Amino acid sequence: MMAVAAAALLAIAPSRDSLAQRIQSRIAQEPGAVVGLAYLDLASGDTLFLNADSSFHAASTMKVPVMIELFRRSVTGSFAMKQALMLVNHFASIVDGSAYALDPSSDSDTTLYHRIGDRVPIDTLLRLMITRSSNLATNTLIALVGADNVNRTMRSLGAQRMQVLRGVEDGKAFEKGLNNTTTARDLAVILRAIEEGRAAAPTATREMLGILTAQEFNEKIPAGLPAGTRVAHKTGEITAVSHDAAIVYPPGRKPYVLVVLTRGIADGNRSSKLIADLSGIVYSYSIIKSGSILR
Give the mean pLDDT of the chain. 93
| Averaged pLDDT, 2-20 | 57
Given this model, what pLDDT does residue 13 score?
Answer: 53
**Residue 259's pLDDT band (cuts 50, 70, 90):** very high
| Averaged pLDDT, 69-88 | 96
Given this model, what pLDDT does residue 295 score?
Answer: 39
Task: Please answer whether residues 201 and 75 qualify as being in contact, where contact means their C-beta atoms are separated by less than 8 angstroms.
Answer: yes
**Residue 46 predicted with pLDDT over 90:** yes
**Residue 11 predicted with pLDDT over 90:** no
Q: Rounded to the nearest 5°, which phi and psi values hold at 41? A: -95, 115
Given this model, what pLDDT does residue 17 score?
Answer: 81
Q: How far is CA 281 from the centre of its chain?
A: 19
Given this model, what pLDDT does residue 291 score?
Answer: 66
Q: What is the DSSP string of 117-170?
A: TSEEEHHHHHHHHHHS--HHHHHHHHHHH-HHHHHHHHHHHT--S-B----TT-
Residue range 193-245, pLDDT digits in tens: 999 999 999 999 999 999 999 999 999 999 999 999 999 999 999 999 999 99
Given this model, what pLDDT does residue 112 score?
Answer: 97
What is d(CA 28, CA 22) in angstroms, rounded to the nearest whole number? 10
In terms of Cβ atoms closer than 10 Å to its own Cβ (0-12, 13-18, 19+), residue 104 is middle
**Residue 14's pLDDT band (cuts 50, 70, 90):** low
Closest CA to 238 of 159, 181, 161: 181
Residue range 145-183, pLDDT digits in tens: 999 999 999 999 999 999 999 999 999 999 999 999 999
**Residue 289 predicted with pLDDT over 90:** no
Residue range 265-279, pLDDT digits in tens: 999 999 999 999 999
| Averaged pLDDT, 184-194 | 98
In terms of Cβ atoms closer than 10 Å to its own Cβ (0-12, 13-18, 19+), residue 253 is middle
| Averaged pLDDT, 55-80 | 96
| Averaged pLDDT, 126-134 | 98
For the chain, give the percent of residues with pLDDT over 90. Answer: 91
Closest CA to 235 of 161, 133, 86: 133
Residue range 50-64, pLDDT digits in tens: 999 999 999 999 999
Handedness of CA 169, 173, 174, 178 (dihedral sign): negative
